[in-house]
Amino acid sequence: MRQSTVEKGAAMLTRFANPARFMRLSGATLPWLGGAAAGVLALGLVWSLAIAPPDYQQGETVRIMFIHVPAAWMALSVYLFVAVASAVALVSRHPLAEIAAQAAAPVGAAFTLVCLATGSLWGRPMWGAWWVWDARLTSVLVLLFLYVGYIALVNAFDDRSRGARAGSLLALVGIVNLPIIKFSVDWWNTLHQPASVVRLSGPSIALSLLMPLLVMAVGFGLLFGWLLLLRMRTLLNERKAEALRLHGQPAPPRHRPTGERGDAAMPAARPVLR
Amino acid sequence: MDQVAGWLMMGGYGGFVWPAYGLAAAVLGGLAFQSWRRHRRSGAALARLQTPADMPRQ
C-alpha cells in the first residue's frame, strides 16, 4: 500500500527529530547560523544607525523602530513556536518538542523585554510618556508575564514531566493573547499606532526605512534560530548527563581536558541513551 | 569630527536612541553569551561522564 503524504511527512519528521540525529545536524548548522546572524545583524545595525534617513515626523527616533518592530515580531512568533511545540509535546510526548519549547521561551521573553523597553524609550520623546496603559502595550506586557510564568512553571516541579506538562498547558492557554496583541490597535482606540508594515494593502512606510527594518528582522530571526539550536543542544546534553549520573556507570577518571566539542567526541557506537 | 559628534547627538534624541540600542545589545548579547557558555559547559560535563580510558580519541 502506498504511503500518504501525511505519513511520509510524519516519517520524515520522526527521522529528523531523533535526538542523536538532531545533535549531529544542529552541530553542523550552528556555526553557519551564528555567522549568518552576526553578519546580517552587523549590516542591519550599520543601515539602521548610519545609512537610513531620519523620518520627517519622528526625526532620528525612527531608528529605535528598527529594533522595536522586529523585536515585537519575534516576541509574537516565538510565542507561537512555544505554543505549537507545547501542543506537539502534549500530544506526541516527543522529547524534542518539549525541549524546543523550553529552549525557545527565554529567547522569546528577551525579545519581548527588548520590545517593551525600546518602545518606552521611543514613547518618551514622541508621546511624552514612558508608558501608557493602552491595549497594545498592556497585551504585550501580558505576553512577557506569560513567558515568565511558563519558565517559572516548567522549573517549579521536582518531577520534570509534571512541570513540562503544566508549562505546555499555560503556553496553549496563553495563545489567546496573540490575536489580542495583533488586533488591539484596530479593536480599541490605542495611542499605539496601527500596523504600517504587515497590512493587507501593503506597507505604508518608505522603502528607505522599510529596508533596514526588514534586514534587522532577518537578523533577529537568524539569531533566534542559532539560540534555539544552541539551547536545545544544551538541554539534551544536561539531560543525558543527569541520566548518566543517576543510572549510568560511575564517571571514569578524566584523561584529557574536554572543550566545547565534548559532546561531539562521543563515538557513535557507544550505546548510551539514544 | 563635528560629523561624528552630530551623528552621536542623533538630532537631540541621542539620549533615547543609544540607550535603546545598548539595552537591546545587552539583553540579546547577554542571553547569547550565557547560552553559549552553558552549552560549552554541558558538552564538557557530558564528555567527562562518557569518556572511558579505552575510548579512541578524535
Complex ipTM value = 0.88
Q: Measure the CA–CA gap between A242 and A230, rounded to whole angstroms.
A: 18
Residues of chain B whose beta carbon is less than 8 angstroms from a beta carbon of chain A are 7, 10-14, 16-17, 19-21, 23-24, 27-28, 31-32, 35-36, 38-40, 42-53, 55-58
- Tens digits of per-residue pLDDT, A218-259? 999 999 999 999 999 999 999 999 988 887 754 444 444 444
- Tens digits of per-residue pLDDT, A113-153? 999 999 999 999 998 999 999 899 999 999 999 999 999 99
Q: Which pLDDT score is estimated for A174? A: 94
Residues of A in Cβ contact (< 8 Å) with B8? none
Residues of A in Cβ contact (< 8 Å) with B47? 258, 262-263, 265-266
Say yes or no to pLDDT of A176 above 70: yes
Say whether A261 and B11 touch across the interface (CB within 8 A): no
- Tens digits of per-residue pLDDT, A47-102? 999 998 888 888 889 999 999 999 999 999 999 999 999 999 999 888 899 999 99
Say whether A121 and B19 touch across the interface (CB within 8 A): yes
Q: Which pLDDT score is estimated for B56? A: 55
Q: Measure the CA–CA gap between A142 and A177, rounded to whole angstroms.
A: 8
Q: Which residue of B has its CA nearest to A66?
A: B21
Q: Measure the CA–CA gap between A222 and A32, rounded to whole angstroms.
A: 10
Q: Which pLDDT score is estimated for A254? A: 43
Query: In which band, very low, low, confident or very high, does the pLDDT at A266 lie, cut at 50, 70 and 90?
Result: very low
Cβ-nearest to A60 among B13, B51, B58: B13
Query: In which band, very low, low, confident or very high, does the pLDDT at A11 lie, cut at 50, 70 and 90?
Result: low
Q: Report domain extents, chain A.
A: 19-188+206-245
Residues of B in Cβ contact (< 8 Å) with A67? 20-21, 24
Any idea what DSSP says for residue A59?
Answer: B
Q: Measure the CA–CA gap between A188 and A176, rounded to whole angstroms.
A: 17
Say yes or no to pLDDT of A216 above 50: yes
Q: Which pLDDT score is estimated for A201? A: 73
Burial class of residue A92 in the structure, from the number of CB atoms within 10 Å of its CB (0-12 exposed, 13-18 middle, 19+ buried):
middle
Full pLDDT tens readout for chain B, 58 residues: 788 888 888 888 999 999 999 999 999 999 999 999 999 999 999 999 887 755 555 5
Q: Which pLDDT score is estimated for A10? A: 58
Higher pLDDT, A196 or A69: A69
